[in-house]
Amino acid sequence: MSKYSRRQFIGTGIAAGTLASLGTLPLKAATSSKATDMVTLGDSGLKVTRLAFGTGSNNGYIQKALGQEKFTALIRYAYDRGIRFFETAEAYATPAMLGEALKGLPRDSYQLMTKVETDRPGDPHERFDQMRRTSQTDYFDIMLLHYLHTPDWVEKTKSWQDAILVEQDKKTILKRGCSVHGLPALRQVPGMKWLDVAMIRMNHNGAVMDAEDYATNRPGNVAEVVSHVKQVKSEGMGVISMKLIGNGGFTNHDDRAAAMKFAFRNAGVDSVTVGFKNTQEIDEAIDNLNAALA
């Protein structure tokens, strides 16, 4: 067991204060930065590629529809293009498919992030063991508490936080974090010292982003979300963003490019995950991120 207790790791959530400026952030070595560069997630020490391959489009059913052979070919194409960060979740249709697709690749050549459902019954360690078996891996680089959408999630997930600390001592989980939905949940992330990384929804116009009601179809509060991102980054937390293409809703290329630019230049995230179903989408996302960094 870690020599640190859970309560030593947990800080109180900090509600948003004055909103931070949404001005463009300077980029380090912008002329040489690329989508497939390895970057460190905050103070975690974990390096991942700026662009991650997400396998949760429509909870993974978009990727599942490809079938194993085509999905494996797509994963290998992304790998060959330099994407070495892959995302799945216990609740997605893709963990087993992703494990099969990555089989045979050197385990230390890529990073694997997954998410666990904390509102389901069951022993956490048994669940983690099953998740590793399904994904055909000895360890996960990042384990996220998934779909946190209530303001009391810090207290409600204490047993899962403790279990992840135990798994970290065993090196079956390397880094820990959360995936949040809605402003009430997001407001608990700043100051929550247990977290190494946070997965936060981000794009330029608030599509499928955090609002007071996590289930709303209205645009989210972009300014407040960005303010939280900047605060947690100042605290040393790594930030991975999702919903870069508005949950698949950005059918216009200019929107997809603008979202990528906003995530890095305005919000200052470390890495982004995008769901892909063909090689053209991979190529475009790499091009859009390279352009955002230029």
Report yes or no on 44 lying in a domain: yes
Give the domain extent around 121: 33-293
Instruction: Please report, to the nearest 10 degrees, the dihedral formed by the alpha carbons of residues 78, 83, 85, 89 taken in order.
Output: -30
Report yes or no on 57 lying in a domain: yes
Cβ(162)–Cβ(7) under 8 Å? no
Model-level pTM? Answer: 0.90
- What tokens were used for 75? 């994963």
Length of the chain: 294
Report yes or no on 79 lying in a domain: yes
Quote the CA–CA distance of 289 and 294 in Å, as a whole number: 9
Instruction: Tell me whether strands 47-49 and 38-40 are parallel, antiparallel or unpaired.
Output: antiparallel
User: What pLDDT shows up at residue 22?
Assistant: 54
Report yes or no on 16 lying in a domain: no
Report yes or no on 209 lying in a domain: yes
- How many domains does the chain divide into? 1
Mean pLDDT by 10 residues, the chain (294 residues): 40 34 50 91 98 97 98 98 98 98 98 97 96 98 98 98 98 98 98 98 96 93 98 98 94 97 98 98 98 97
Residue 281: exposure state from Cβ atoms within 10 A (0-12, 13-18, ≥19):
middle
CATH number, residue 38: 3.20.20.100
Evaluated on CA atoms 51, 57, 62, 68, the torsion sign reads positive
Cβ(108)–Cβ(136) under 8 Å? no
Report yes or no on 220 lying in a domain: yes
Report yes or no on 17 lying in a domain: no
Coil, strand, or helix at residue 176? strand
Alpha helices in 103-208 (DSSP H): 124-135, 153-156, 158-169, 183-186
pLDDT one-digit tens code per residue, 8-37? 433 333 333 333 345 555 544 445 799 999
User: What pLDDT shows up at residue 217?
Assistant: 86
Report yes or no on 7 lying in a domain: no
